[in-house]
Amino acid sequence: MVRLRRITQIVFLVFFIILFLKARYPYNNTLSSDLFLRFSPLIPIFDFIDNFSFSWLFWPAIVIIILTIFLGRFFCGWICPLGTVIDLSGKIIKSPSNTSSNKFDRLRYLKFAILIVAIILAFFSYNLWGYFDPLSIFNRVLTALIYPVGTLITENLLLYTSEISALEDPVYWLYDIFKEFIMPEKQAFVQQVFWITLLFVIILGLEKLSRRFWCRYLCPAGAWLGFLSQFRFYERIVGEVCPACDKCQVECKMNAIPEDDVAHTSKIECIECFNCGSLCPPKKSAITYRWRWKPYHTAVDVNRRQFITTSAASFITLGMLSIGLKDRKNKEKRIRPPGSLPEEDFLNTCIRCLQCVRICQSNGQCLQPDSIHDSVMELWAPVAHMREGYCEYTCNLCGLVCPTEAILTLSLKEKKKTPMGLAYFNKNLCLPFAQNVDCIVCEEHCPTPDKAIKFDLKDFILPDGSMKKVKYPYVVKELCIGCGICEYKCPVPGEPGIFVNTDNQRRLIKTDLA
Amino acid sequence: MERFISRGDHVVVKPNIGWARAPELAANTNPDLVAEVIRSCLKAGAKVVKVFDRTCNDPRRCYNLSGIEESATSAGAEVRQIRRNMFTPIKLPEGKLLKEWEIYKEYLEADKIINIPIAKHHSLSRVSLGAKNLMGVMGGNRGSLHTDFDQKLIDICSEILPTLTIIDAYRILVRNGPTGGNPADVKIQKSLIASDCIVTADYLAMDLFSLPLHQVGHIQEMLNRSLNKYDLSRFNYMQIDLGS
């Protein structure tokens, strides 16, 4: 069983990574790349709170939830890719056994506290759970850290060794394979990578305190699945022959076996790794697993006082989130992907998985995880940075891979007509205005069939009295879709002579798309 | 083609693959022409034919949507994306404004260059023809070339002149260039203009847009610098009607 579990864990991890790598142009996958993200058991709760209905979009999560009622937290032990990486990290940094990590057990309620806060806030339309969703965390780290760092090292290593003339041919052969399957696009650069990494490093580093620290004490998905598996029917049975050697108790990944009663299992904690069965002294084999139709019950360990404090804390958080300054200057810079829901809905539906950022990296590279400006809610939501990349006119991929439909799926035709914002000239910097020279690189790149940037040919009188004709560009509001290629290609160093803001943006709701 | 290509030559065929647009929109060179040129190069004994362009939109979308990646590969050429470590700076001793610029290595190392631009309208340079197409092998910040464009473009072009220029004027883009996107801006001209002198080819192609020389600064600039192989006031050219 343990071997089967390990193989399953690796298979799901690899599956997740393949879906991640496949999230790129040309996106013609039979399996949509956001499929695994929709496994997250938390999604249906918050979807229900927001819309008072269940969406079939989240069928993978619903399957997990139903199975959990019978099987318990198998998702954590067998499927969750973050759990698998945590297991690997625990092996490397050598997690202590339960004899020393017992002392943290009073933190178990924390994961319920996080879940309760998330649910209470969701009722007031603030969805923060995405930050703590394990699948979202893992995808975020893949997008912002693991993939870009991996490609950066590989590409530079290959290009560096290709300069050794004896190795040139084999290295370029490898390079072509790398370019074909791993990184056909440009190297990705991501802002916020430090903070995204920090959260991940902390999660892995906590393994030094106890095995599966995150899963035991913090993960809200674990709390929800634990809550569901209080009565699970699949049980660990300890036979009469048990020598009470306590091996299973000491080595249990989740410390789910009580010290004083090895015959029982905390159904809320157990993730069904089956390690206990394999640790049981072979001659005895006291531990067996089987279905029982009259299962015993494990109570959720949150007491009344903890519940009240947690609720109070969520109302304070709610207040803090609501009274943050709503700075207009900042708001106009938060350009969202085309097809995004109206801003408030968007921030509440987005789970910060960065799947859109990932797929954008294979094209225009304009989407970046946002930083905090006025509100915590802005953190890691996708924001378009046109100076570092632009929205490719013939691309609609971000809408295709959003697991929660915070970015709606637009057809290419619809996308080409959905403005993300509007371009404005900064005439203090734009070269024709600042220096009276021709440039119009923005006009050249403007992708709309009837160009949204046009120019006026005007005379300019030089100091010696002679005349010179200069092309002065301007924006036609009705034509501009705010794709930002003008801002990206503007040759003015640093601050661009033309920039996009959220003016004229069109936000959509599902019913807009017939 | 045998006149230009010798047996065993390494040939670079440089079409315009600058934009993520379908061939019908005339923003990129006709993929069928590219394939035909590659085939005749190979027939003439070329050892390798390489095809590339430093694109303006996302490179893979451009290679793909233009149809050139597919047609050129099936014609037997090596089609590769630009590698960022393959630009080498070259000296521009004749340069008026620029003294050095980065050029793609494979272009510099090729024995023969076949330049196949598409004839397009362009707001800044008025037309995008042979010389403008060579921007696809230039590295560095190309946006900065757009001030004093004519001088800077020709500063670089004069050092990297191609063996042969074939201007694709099957479809030409007459408005909203160089990106286009509107089928109404495309004119079916069904012509090709070929010359071993880039200036001559560009000069002749200017007629397609009914532009006088003094309005097309960069072609004027090439003539000012006497880059032309032939005297443009009295040279021979053949007009071959290939029927329909």
- Cβ–Cβ below 8 Å for B124 and A184: no
Residues 6+ positions from B194 with CB-CB distance below 8 Å: B164, B165, B166, B167, B201
Q: Measured between beta carbons, which residues in chain B are less than 8 angstroms from residue A443? A: 123-124
b/e A381-419 (16+ beta carbons within 10 angstroms → b): bbbbbbbbbbbbbbbbbbbbbbbbbbbbbbeeebbbebb
Percentage of chain A exceeding pLDDT 90: 66
Whether the CA torsion B81, A354, A181, A174 is positive or negative: it is: positive
The torsion angles phi and psi of B201, rounded to 5 degrees, stand at: -60, -50
Helix (H, G, I), strand (E, B) or coil at A474: strand
Residues in A touching B148 (Cβ below 8 Å): 437-438
Rounded-to-integer distance, Cα A33 and Cα A367, Å: 17
Question: Per-residue pLDDT averaged across A221-234, rounded?
Answer: 92
Q: Which of A184, A449, A491 sits opposite B144 (nearest CB)?
A: A491
Q: What is the pLDDT of residues B6-62, one digit of tens each?
A: 999 999 999 999 999 999 999 999 999 999 999 999 999 999 999 999 999 999 999
CB atoms A441 and B123 under 8 Å: no
Residue of B28, B57, B64 to mutate for A, most A C-beta atoms under 10 A: B57
Of B61, B143, B178, the CB nearest to A392: B61
Q: Which amino acid is located at A22 in the chain?
A: K
For B132-146, what is each residue's pLDDT tens digit? 999 999 999 999 999
Backbone angles phi, psi at A474, to 5 degrees: -150, 165
Residue A284 pLDDT = 65
Nearest CB among B20, B144, B179 relative to A392 is that of B20
Question: Phi first, then psi: what are they for A291, rounded to 5°?
Answer: -80, 140
Predicted local distance difference test score (pLDDT) of residue B244: 47
pLDDT, mean over chain A = 91
B194 by Cβ neighbours in 10 Å (0-12 / 13-18 / 19+) ranks as middle
| Of A231, A229, A235, the residue nearest A292 (C-alpha) | A235
User: CB distance B146–A451 less than 8 Å?
Assistant: no
Residue pair A47/A58 in contact by the 8 Å Cβ criterion:
yes
- The per-residue pLDDT for range B63-116, each reduced to its tens digit, is 999 999 999 999 999 999 998 888 999 999 989 999 999 999 999 999 999 999
The answer to whether A159 contacts B180, with C-beta atoms less than 8 Å apart, is: no
Is some CB atom of chain B closer than 8 A to the CB atom of A300? no
Residue contacts between A and B (CB atoms, under 8 Å): 83
Where residue A404 falls (left for φ over 0; alpha for ψ -120 to 50; beta otherwise) is alpha
Choose among B64, B149, B181: nearest Cβ to A438: B149
A462 Cβ contact list (under 8 Å, min separation 6): A468
Greater confidence, A146 or A363?
A: A146
Query: Are B182 and A449 in contact (CB < 8 Å)?
Result: yes
Q: What DSSP assignment string belongs to A414-466?
A: HHTT--S-EEEE-TTTSHHHHH-----HHHHH--SSS-SEEEEEEEEE-TTS-
Using a CB–CB cutoff of 8 Å, tell me whether B190 touches chain A: no
B60/A contact by beta carbon, under 8 A: yes
**Predicted confidence (pLDDT) at residue A457 exceeds the cutoff of 80:** yes
Distance from CA of A393 to the nearest CA of B (A): 8
B-contacting residues of A 170-189, CB under 8 Å?
A: 179, 184-185
B45: left (phi over 0), alpha (psi -120 to 50) or beta: left
Judged by a CB distance cut-off of 8 A, whether residue A490 touches chain B is yes
Short-list B53, B170, B61, CA closest to B113: B53
**pLDDT score, position A55:** 86
| pLDDT at residue A87 is higher than 90 | yes
Least confident of A115-129, A231-245, A421-435: A231-245
Average pLDDT over residues A374-398: 93
Tell me if chain B has a CB within 8 Å of the CB of A272. no
Work out the pLDDT band at B243, boundaries 50, 70, 90.
Answer: low
**Nearest CA-CA distance, residue B176 and chain A, Å:** 7
**Residue B83: what pLDDT?**
86
Burial annotation A281-318 (CB, 10 A radius, 16+ → b, else e): eeeeebbeeeeeeebeebeeebeeeeeeebeeebeebb
Q: pLDDT digit string (tens) for A230-280?
A: 988 888 888 888 888 888 899 899 999 988 888 888 999 999 999 988 888
pTM assigned to the model:
0.91
Residue matched to tokens 């793909």: B64
The predicted-structure confidence for A13-48, as pLDDT tens digits, reads as follows: 999 999 999 898 888 877 888 999 999 999 999 999
In this complex, which of A159, A184, A449 lies closest to B85 when CB atoms are compared?
A159
Whether B6 and chain A come into contact, CB under 8 Å, resolves to no
- Give the contacts of A58 (CB within 8 A, at least 6 positions apart): A38, A43, A44, A47
Which of A162, A393, A444 shows the shortest C-beta gap to B178? A444
Distance separating alpha carbons of residues A462 and A444, to the nearest angstrom: 26
CATH number of B10-224: 3.40.50.11440
Could you give the CA distance from residue A321 to residue A116 in angstroms, rounded to a whole number? 17
Q: Which of residues 353-372 of A touch B (CB under 8 A)?
A: 362-364
Phi and psi at B114, nearest 5°, equal -110, 115
CA distance B235 to chain A (A): 33
- Residues of chain A in contact with residue B153, where contact means CB-CB under 8 angstroms, are none
Q: Please give the Cα distance from A104 to A201 (Å, whole number).
A: 19
Residue A186's pLDDT is what?
86
Q: How far apart are CA A140 and CA A356, in angstroms?
A: 10
Confidence at residue A285, expressed as pLDDT on a 0 to 100 scale: 74
Q: Are residues A177 and A183 in contact, defined by beta-carbon separation less than 8 angstroms?
A: no
Whether residue B242 has pLDDT greater than 90: no
Strand duo A453-461 + A367-369: pairing: unpaired
Report the alpha-carbon distance of residue A232 to residue A45 in Å, rounded: 20
Q: Tell me: pLDDT of A376 over 60.
A: yes
Residue of A394, A435, A491 with shortest CB distance to B65: A394
Query: Residue A505: its pLDDT value, please?
Result: 95
Would you call B215 an interface residue with chain A, using a CB distance cutoff of 8 Å? no
CA distance A490 to chain B (A): 7
- Is residue A378 within 8 Å of A334, Cβ to Cβ? yes
Dihedral sign, Cα of residue A77, residue A82, residue A86, residue A88: positive
Cβ distance of B58 and A491 shorter than 8 Å: no
Chain A residue numbers touching B16 (CB-CB < 8 A): none
Number of alpha carbons in the 13 Å side-chain half-sphere of residue A495? 7
CA distance B237 to chain A (A): 33
- Examine the pLDDT at A471 and tell me if it is beyond 90: yes
pLDDT digits (tens, 9 = 90+) for A161-171: 988 888 888 99
Question: How far is the C-alpha of B197 from the C-alpha of B162, rounded, in Å?
Answer: 8
Question: In sequence order, what are the beta bridge partners of B127?
Answer: B121
d(CA B95, CA B150): 12
Q: Tens digits of per-residue pLDDT, A281-324? A: 877 678 888 888 888 888 887 888 888 999 999 999 899 888 88
B179 vs A159, A435, A446: nearest CB: A446
Residues A314-343 have a mean pLDDT of: 90
Q: In chain B, positions 70-89, which contact chain A (CB-CB < 8 Å)? A: 81, 83, 85
